[in-house]
Amino acid sequence: MHSKKAIIIGSGVAGMAAATRLAIQGYQVEVFESNAYPGGKLSMFEKDGYRFDAGPSLFTQPQNIESLFELAGEPIDQYFNYSSVEIGCRYFFENGKTIDAHSDPNLFTDELVTKLGEKAGSLKKYLDNSGKLYKNIGEIFLDNSLHKWQTWCHGRLTEALKTIKPAYVFSTLNKYNSSKFSSPEAIQLFNRYATYNGSNPFTAPGMLSVIPHLEYNQGVFYPAGGMISITNALYKLAIKKGVKFHFDSSVSRIIHYEGKIVGVVVNEENIPASVVISNGDIYFTYKKLLNHLPKAQKLLKQERSSSALIFYWGIKSEFPELQLHNILFSKNYKEEFKYIFNKKTVYADPTIYINITSKMEAGLAPQGRENWFVMINVPANNGQDWEQIKQQARIHVIEKINRLLQTSIEPLIETEELLDPVLIESRTGSYMGSLYGTSSNSKLAAFFRPANFTNYIKGLYFCGGSVHPGGGIPLCFKSAKIATDLVIADSKKAAH
């Protein structure tokens, strides 16, 4: 066996980034993917002339993918191009107000001041704090393993910890935002960032106020060709670096002996490796691939993140009042989260997210038409009656769109596909269909996310949205770097 043989289980963003990083380090890398295509949640499909990104739809922090291409010595522009988006999101409220979250902070401030009566300096102060929090805390904790003593001995850590205000830890995001803004609309707008990791702003900590930094201080971007172009670029780069992919190939077991990785079992065949990185859901990895039920059960003690119900609609009309990203807010946000996390069902007045990539480039929908990705937050799958929930949700979503956009949307839907938590679990292996593994609905949830390695099996590592530092594309890139840095550090240690 090649002494530097690595196997990656799953070809999500983190899996492909990890594969490329190890290949650059001289590892012989093979990726086993249960689906017929790479990308995990970051996939696409075409129907009746419409092209839909199937999963994540927001692109921030392009430096994560740029640094990977730089490391690989490949010119990114031959693989991937993107442009900045001037209006990050358009927000619609039940009282008839609309707010454009401009990338230009002065224009965004004008929106909040003139339409909501906010103080002129409130936004700048909020985003300055968000930026400082990211720089002082985020860069240390999101770029390093929290489960290694070296991180806690980091030279910048003492200074960083001094900047943690009690409100970040002991206050909920809603309380924190209520102390920074005066209008219910601005508070709701910034509460929304808890949903970026599947959490509830009324229970998640004020620390999540770090998330708007990525969008407003660093920018929102659009990848040419849609989000699938991220998957395509990563796949081509991995191939270029010599990574071998096996599709329709489910790993059924991880083999270890006397505390060391031996390889994996695929289609009843033993495939040897000295390193295995699982990009699969951590719960499934422990339960099914390692048959370690106590560890799997322990993971279930943490609350699951929310999931999504997505309607992909081909709309035979154009809506100039909509942007690339749009939010139609629930009138009672607190009640909506109570339904999702406590009652485990869908609220009758859900917050609706509409993403329309045909706004950015022609060819993604037939002329004069639009490709709508319509999503609401829903609970993870606990065995609810999803057929009934989907039928009711569709009625509520259509009613709300009709009301806020003053239209009749149903006759304009000429093609439709649906994605629910049950399908999300079956297609991506995300336990219960939760999009981000565990939620961040407690003060210290971030510190309890599963580690990127395990002490009881040497050579086994984890990356992706269900482990540290969390879900979403930027954090998946970071988890790939953390996991592969650990592989490299451990192999150096073993060589001495």
Confidence of residue 110 (pLDDT cuts 50, 70, 90): very high
**Would the CATH topology of 5-41+62-82+227-302+443-495 be identical to that of 84-223+304-428?**
no
Question: Do β-strands 413-419 and 307-315 pair in parallel, antiparallel, or remain unpaired?
Answer: antiparallel
Residue 45's CB is within 10 A of a number of other CB atoms, namely: 13
pLDDT in tens, 172-190: 999 999 999 999 999 999 9
CA distance 324 to 305: 25
Express each pLDDT in 318-360 by its tens digit: 999 999 999 999 999 999 999 999 999 999 999 999 999 999 9
CA 278 from centre of chain? 17
Q: Look at the alpha carbons of 362, 363, 365, 369 in this order and tell me if their dihedral is positive or negative.
A: positive
pTM here is: 0.94
287: DSSP letter: I
Residues 6+ apart with CB under 8 A from 107: 100
Question: Which residue in 131, 132, 134 sits closest to 142, CA to CA?
Answer: 134
In whole angstroms, give the CA distance from residue 369 to residue 51.
12
CATH of domain 5-41+62-82+227-302+443-495: 3.50.50.60
Tokens representing residue 144 in the block: 């390093």
Rounded average pLDDT over 83-99:
98
Residue 429: is its pLDDT beyond 80? Answer: yes
Mean pLDDT over each residue of the chain, to the nearest integer: 93
CB distance 14 to 472 below 8 Å: no
Residue spans per domain, the chain? 5-41+62-82+227-302+443-495, 84-223+304-428
Q: What pLDDT sits at residue 493?
A: 86
375 pairs with which residues across the strands? 310, 353
Q: Which of 151-160, 177-186, 239-248, 386-395 has the lowest mean pLDDT?
A: 151-160
Which structure tokens are listed for 243? 């990574």
Q: What are the start-end ranges of the E strands in 93-243? A: 98-102, 221-223
- Which residue has tokens 């809506």? 319
CATH fold of 84-223+304-428 reads Polyamine Oxidase; Chain A, domain 2 (3.90.660)
The reported pLDDT for the residue numbered 444 is: 61
